Amino acid sequence: MNRTDLISQIRAKKSFLCIGLDSDMTKIPAHLLKKHDPVYEFNKQIIDATHDLAVAYKPNLAFYESRGVLGWNSLARTFHYLKKFDVFTIADAKRGDIGNTSAQYANAFFNPEQSGLDFDAVTVAPYMGEDSVKPFLGFPDKWVVLLALTSNKGSDDFQLIKDADSGQKLYEQVLIKSQQWGTADNMMYVVGATKAEMLTRVRELVPDHFLLVPGVGAQGGSLQEVAKYGLTKDCGLLVNSSRNIIFASQEKDFAKKAREEAVRMQAEMAGILDAGC
């Protein structure tokens, strides 16, 4: 899905909601555990209940890879089910390695003839530099979602370190340097909602790029604050919610409760979009 298509989806649905499919087997409702593929059955019902409200879905690969072959099968089935709907798909894999290895990771998520998967985007760690990122950018209409300023507590350990000469923080250097590798049409950045007060600086450096924003909901981030500092004329935001939606209930009504939470978030987003872009 290219940038124009993504913006069209946001405007059509009046939503910039991304639902994280962090489908933890220990939290899936007990009645689904009797199914042949509980994770897929859980994901399918979440998707059925929310696809008209969300513009994107983001399976977190850890919850699939940890289950070995069974997990990869659940991921593949979930991906192919998502393809029935006009939604943006993000493989939250946080890959990044030397060039030839990154090329294989890119094939894993972007080359359906090789892997059977054809995600729209993949999350990538920038620590190893340009040659670890560029292989992901070689696929038309595919996106790199580069980790820049994350929402976890430990992000301060490195991301906020200042360079002695330039005075720039590490995340600022990532934003500046990476624009030499990709464009606003094929690169997004992860900026955590718990860092909303820093979005003004982020937007000074990347005024037109989309931002994938985790941390709203369970991690305490504010949707209104994110929109206040991060919204652009094209929206420019994908705000991710995982646990607040998919585990709104762990009973048989889980899909209904997930929809209720998604409806609440979409309504808030619609108000923001009507007022802002």
Beta-sheet pairing, 237-241 with 17-21:
parallel
The string of pLDDT tens digits covering residues 216-228 is: 765 567 888 899 9
What is the pLDDT confidence band of residue 192, given thresholds at 50, 70 and 90? confident
What pLDDT score does 219 carry? 58
Q: Does the structure show a pLDDT above 60 at 201?
A: yes
Percent of the chain with pLDDT over 70: 97
CA 106 to each of CA 82, 123, 203: distance values in angstroms, whole numbers, following the listed order: 20, 11, 28
Q: What's the average model confidence in pLDDT over 171-193?
A: 95
The string of pLDDT tens digits covering residues 249-277 is: 999 999 999 999 999 999 999 999 998 75
Beta bridge partner(s), residue 241: 19
The string of pLDDT tens digits covering residues 98-153 is: 989 999 999 999 999 999 999 999 999 999 999 999 999 999 999 999 999 987 88
What is the pTM for the complete model shown? Answer: 0.95
What pLDDT score does 196 carry? 73
Using an 8 Å Cβ cutoff, are 160 and 170 in contact? yes
Q: Does the structure show a pLDDT above 90 at 195?
A: no
Domain residue ranges of the chain, discontinuous segments joined by + = 3-276
The string of pLDDT tens digits covering residues 3-50 is: 999 999 999 999 999 999 999 999 999 999 999 999 999 999 999 999
What pLDDT score does 156 carry? 86
HSE, side-chain direction, 13 A CA sphere, residue 250: 10
SS3 at position 92: strand
CATH number of 3-276: 3.20.20.70
The string of pLDDT tens digits covering residues 71-84 is: 999 999 999 999 99
The span from the CA of 44 to the CA of 88, in Å, is 16
The span from the CA of 51 to the CA of 224, in Å, is 23
Instruction: Compute the mean pLDDT over every residue in the chain, rounded to the nearest whole number.
Output: 94
Beta bridge partner(s), residue 60: 92
The H or E element containing residue 177 is helix 170-178
Find, among 265, 192, 243, the residue nearest to 46 by Cα. Answer: 243
Residues recognised as catalytic: 94
Q: Does the structure show a pLDDT above 60 at 162?
A: yes
What pLDDT score does 277 carry? 57
Using an 8 Å Cβ cutoff, are 169 and 232 in contact? no
